[in-house]
Amino acid sequence: MTRQVCVVGVGLSDGPVAPGMTPMMLAAQAFGRALADAGLRKDDVEGLASAGYGGMHEVQLAEYLGVRARWLESTSCGGSSFEFHTLHAYRAIQAGDVDTVAIVYGNNQLSASGRTLGTGGGGGGARGALPLGMSYELPVGLTLVGAYAMAAQRHMHQYGTTPEQLASIAVQTREHAARNPAAMYRDPITIDDVLASKLVADPLHKLDCCVISDGGCCIVLTTEERARDLPHRPVYVRGAAGATTHHSITAMADMTTTAAAVSGPKAFAEAGITPGDVDVFAMYDSFTYTVLVVLEDLGFAPKGEGGAFAADGNLRLGGRLPTNTDGGGLSATHPGMRGLFLLCEATRQLRGEAGDSQVEGAEIAVAHGSGGWLSTHGTVVLGTTPR
- Segment-wise mean pLDDT, segments of 10 residues, the chain, 387 residues: 92 92 93 98 96 73 94 94 98 97 93 56 43 70 91 98 98 98 96 98 97 95 96 96 94 96 98 98 98 98 98 98 98 95 98 96 98 96 96
236 within 8 A of 383, measured Cβ to Cβ: yes
Residue 131: what pLDDT? 59
The sign of the CA dihedral 219, 344, 350, 353 is positive
Q: 36 lies in which domain range?
A: 5-112+211-382
Task: Determine, yes or no, domain membership for 220.
Answer: yes
Question: Cα–Cα distance between 382 and 363 in angstroms, integer?
Answer: 8
Residue 191 lies in a domain: no
**Structural domain includes residue 20:** yes
Is 135 a member of any domain?
no
Q: Do β-strands 376-383 and 364-371 pair in parallel, antiparallel, or remain unpaired?
A: antiparallel
The pLDDT, as a whole number, for residue 53 is: 59
pLDDT in the model for residue 159: 98
For residue 8, the model assigns a pLDDT of 98
Any domain includes 261? yes
Going by DSSP bridges, is the β-strand pair 5-12/101-107 parallel, antiparallel, or unpaired? unpaired
CB 209 within 8 A of CB 329: no
Amino acid code (one letter) for 352: G
Predicted local distance difference test score (pLDDT) of residue 319: 97
Q: What is the pLDDT of residue 117?
A: 47
Number of domains in the chain: 1
287 within some domain: yes
Burial class of residue 314 in the structure, from the number of CB atoms within 10 Å of its CB (0-12 exposed, 13-18 middle, 19+ buried): buried
**Residues linked to residue 9 through DSSP beta bridges, in sequence order:** 220
pLDDT of residue 118: 45
Q: Does a structural domain hold residue 148?
A: no
Query: Domain containing 266 — which CATH number?
Result: 3.40.47.10
Cα pseudo-dihedral 216, 5, 78, 160, rounded to 10: -110
150 domain residue, yes or no: no
Residue 34: what pLDDT? 98
> What pLDDT does residue 113 have?
67
